[in-house]
Amino acid sequence: MGSTSSTLLKIPNVEVLMQETGFSPAHIIRLHDRFKALDKKGRGHLCPQDFGAIKELAMNPIGDRIIGAFFSPGKETVDFHTFVKILAHFRPVDKNRPKEPNSPEPINSRSNKLRFAFQLYDQDKDGKISRDELLKVLRAMLGMQVTEEQLESIADRTIQEADLDRDDAISFEEFRKVSPEILHSRCFIKAPVIMLMERDC
Amino acid sequence: MESYLFPFDSLICMLLGISFTVLFTLLLVFIIVPAIFGVSFGIRRLYMKSLIKLFEVSELMLSMSVILQRGGAEPEFDMSDIFYFCRRGVESIVDDEVTKRFTAEELESWNLLTRSNYNFHHISTRLTALWGVGVLIRYGFLLPLRVTLAFTGVGLLVVLTSIVGLFPNGRMKNYLSDKVHLMCYRICVRALTAIITYHDSENKPKNGGICVANHTSPIDVIILASDGCYAMVGQVHGGLMGVIQRAMVKACPHIWFERSEVKDRHLVAKRLSDHIADKSKLPILIFPEGTCINNTSVMMFKKGSFEIGCRVYPVAIKYDPRFGDAFWNSSKFGMVNYLLRMMSSWAIVCSVWYLPPMSRMEGEDAVQFANRVKAAIARKGGLADLLWDGGLKRGKVKEVFKEEQQKLYSKVLVGNIWPTFSYEQNIESV
């Protein structure tokens, strides 16, 4: 596989990246290989079509939303650093992280994971999940399997339960309150060799 | 007491006798005869396709069960359900079918072999039942069948090669030896239910060259040798292995080294070069790595084989771990243990790529040449687009699968939500 240090050296600012994301050198190399494999034209960045070429992602009901999460508004490309930073959301939570008062919150904190999920719903990025946005997600996840009325009932009931300030939308704080158990065994990824599966986030 | 067990006794004997005869006939017709002639009924591929479908379904059920396990009697829609789909999506971004199958320790789709899923616990009765049936089939039916075949294959190899050895050297002997070797290896392939896809057969190794392949398990030899005739290289063993080796060398010249000779690199190199110089002898099959690695990377190729200065035919072998982990950790398991595990897996699915021949270039030393060959093999076996599904149309699978996910998710939710709604509606109408 070649020496690890030489591959690492080819990636600019890799030290900063490792510190910000908490990935180990082996993880970074693995992700770099993956990035290069996805970047079929070898341009050094990925565009939405590169993600679209992943078959399993195309099969995913919310595949296009996940792809959208990688691209900041207005940007058509994502470079390796951004790629890794977004994926860092899915690292298991570091249970033994010392609480340094001045250091920024790690990307894989509970709060940031929830924020990631929130943004999957809140596509217009106005800080609230409107009834319409909720309906769109429900439609994506359930497809033709349920009727329009059932979808609307589910949406209404969900908003009723979560919306505390009665503005007919769910803000991030309200979202947080409704999803305390959100993280249990669902928010981490277990796929590659080196990312270990942990039962808790 | 004994008198009235008697009629049952003879009945049982009769039943056993009949089932053995039937089994043996089936064996002969469906497995051994095709192996002799090198044809295939396509039973194994059909089997593989059904297994894939089964695994995909069980994987879906397994992952959806996380939602089912959510606390409470009735799962209802939760905003955090989006995480379930999100996780699957991100997993596919980080890994896909090619890179995913990289380790002997983890397996995405729980392929109903407990030994693969280390975090198995009782998740759903249906899955456990499925697993139980799987165990019965694998150990009760497949294993005995395969062991019988294996004994047949090895036995025939020893006997027939000894017979061929009695012939005088010449074209007839070589022809017969080739046929015998191929036939016995094919029986062994069926003994493992190995479903092998050979790519680029026009690059198959020819006489006067060395065939070099990456090494994952002892089975590699059987896989390659059932598609072509090679001269094997190895150390002389005692016991059964030794018997086989001695028999094989009677039919055609293989290269077996005594333990003491292995250390002498010059002797090894000389014997290999002598063999290659003789164009009538078969290409040598060498695994430069020497030990088994778990099919993820092609480790340091030892340079000995590359110093000889002849054409090298690289071959890449890649196993699909969905069907059974072919990796042999020789420090953990002995050979017999390993073979038993192999024979009680569902199947062994792998792909073999024959790469175009390479020769050492001017100014390149053995190590550089070895690395070049190694890189070519790694590129082919690691990053190539592997069509494991044997030809299922990709487009169709895509659409159906999204729908299946939606269906399953809605079953989980709506099956439980709707009664609540109708209750509320009734209240309103009153």
Q: Do residue B298 and residue B173 come from a single domain?
A: yes
Tokens 């059964």, residue located: B240
* Chain B hits for A137, Cβ within 8 Å: 82
B153 with B251, same domain: the answer is yes
Tell me the shortest Cα–Cα distance from A5 to chain B, in angstroms.
Answer: 17
Q: CA of A96, closest CA in chain B: separation in Å?
A: 23
Per-residue pLDDT, averaged over A17-25, amounts to 83
Residue B257 counted as domain residue: yes
| pLDDT single digits (tens) A130-149 | 889 989 998 888 888 788 88
DSSP A173: H
Q: Which domains does chain A have, with CATH numbers?
A: 3-196 (1.10.238.10)
Q: Residue B171 has what DSSP assignment?
A: H
Residues in chain B: 430
- Total domains, chain B: 2
How far is it between the farthest Cα atoms of chain A?
59
Task: Give pLDDT tens digits for B37-83.
Answer: 777 777 888 888 888 777 766 666 666 665 555 544 455 667 777 87
pLDDT at B412 over 90: no
Cβ of residue A164 closer than 8 Å to a chain B Cβ: no
pLDDT, mean over chain B: 73
Q: In whole angstroms, what is the distance from residue B253 CA to residue B269 CA?
A: 16
- Look at residue B414 and tell me if it is in a domain: no
Cβ distance B88 to A60 less than 8 Å, yes or no, reads yes
* pLDDT above 80: residue B201: yes
With respect to residue B37, please indicate whether it lies within any of the assigned structural domains. Answer: yes
| Residue A71 touches chain B, beta carbons under 8 Å | no
With contact defined as beta carbons under 8 Å apart, do B298 and B287 qualify? no
Contact (CB<8Å) A143/B94: no
What's the token pair of residue B292?
Answer: 């088994």
Contact B96, A55 (CB under 8 A): yes
Alpha-carbon distance of B403 to A144, in angstroms, equals: 8
B402 and chain A: CB distance < 8 Å anywhere?
Answer: yes
Asked whether residue B382 carries a pLDDT value surpassing 70, the answer given is: no
Q: Cβ-count burial of A62 within 10 angstroms (0-12 exposed, 13-18 middle, 19+ buried)?
A: buried
**Which chain B residues are within 8 Å of A4, Cβ to Cβ?**
none
Domain co-membership, B290 together with B386: yes
Could you say which residues from 1 to 60 on chain A have a Cβ atom under 8 Å away from some Cβ of chain B? 1, 31, 33-34, 37-38, 51, 54-60
One domain, residues B149 and B37? no
pLDDT for the residue B400: 53
| DSSP of B208-229 | TEEEEE--SSTHHHHHHHTTS-
Whether residue B31 is found in the same domain as residue B131: no
The answer to whether residue B373 is domain-embedded is: yes
Contacts of B409 in chain A (CB under 8 A): 61, 141-142, 145
Cβ-Cβ contacts under 8 Å, A61 against chain B = 85, 402, 405-406, 409
Are A190 and B91 within 8 A, CB to CB? yes
Q: What pLDDT, on a 0 to 100 scale, did the predictor assign at position B301?
A: 53
Residue B224 belongs to a domain = yes
Q: Indicate whether B114 belongs to any domain.
A: no
Between chains, do B106 and A197 touch, taking CB under 8 Å as contact?
Answer: yes
Q: Is the CB of B80 less than 8 angstroms away from the CB of A182?
A: yes
Residue B406 in domain: no
Alpha-helix residue ranges (DSSP H) falling in chain A: 4-10, 14-21, 25-38, 48-52, 55-59, 63-70, 80-87, 110-121, 131-142, 148-162, 172-178
User: What pLDDT shows up at residue A196?
Assistant: 23
- The shortest C-alpha distance from A56 to chain B (Å) reads 6
Residues of B in contact with A189 (CB under 8 A): 87, 90-91, 94
Q: What average pLDDT does range B225-252 have in this prediction?
A: 84
DSSP-derived 3-state class of residue B73: coil
pLDDT digits (tens, 9 = 90+) for A176-198: 887 755 444 433 333 322 222 22
- Residue-range definition of the domain harbouring residue B25: 7-41
Residue B295 pLDDT > 60: no
pLDDT score of A23 more than 60:
yes
Instruction: Note whether A142 contacts B106, CB cutoff 8 Å.
Output: no
pTM across the whole model:
0.60
Could B100 and A62 be called an inter-chain contact, meaning their C-beta atoms sit closer than 8 Å? no
Contact criterion met (CB below 8 Å) for B344 and B138: yes
A154 and B CB contact within 8 Å: yes
CA atoms in the 13 A half-sphere facing the CB of B248: 25
Q: Which of A57, A145, A158 sits opposite B89 (nearest CB)?
A: A57
Domain-embedded: residue B381:
yes
Answer yes or no: is pLDDT of B101 > 50.
no
DSSP A46: B
How far away is chain A from the Cα of B173, in angstroms, using its nearest Cα?
44
Let me know: does A174 contact A164? Beta carbons within 8 Å. yes
Backbone angles phi, psi at A171, to 5 degrees: -85, 175
The tokens describing B76, both together, are 């209802």
- For residue B336, the SS3 value is helix
Q: At what angle do helices A80-87 and A25-38 cross, to 10 degrees?
A: 120
- Chain A: nearest CA to B24, how far in angstroms? 43
Quote the CA–CA distance of B217 and B429 in Å, as a whole number: 70
Q: Does position B298 have pLDDT exceeding 50, yes or no?
A: no
Question: Shortest CA distance to B247 belongs to which of B169, B186, B156, B170?
Answer: B156
What is the nearest CA distance from B106 to chain A, expressed in angstroms? 7
Alpha carbons B136 and B344: distance in angstroms, whole number: 10
Name all contacts of B334-338 with Cβ < 8 Å and 24+ positions apart: B335/B218, B338/B217, B338/B218
Choose from B79, B301, B405 for mutation: most chain A CBs within 10 A.
B79
- Cβ contacts (< 8 Å) between B105 and chain A: which residues? 193
**Are B31 and B177 in a shared domain?**
no
pLDDT, residue A78, reads 93
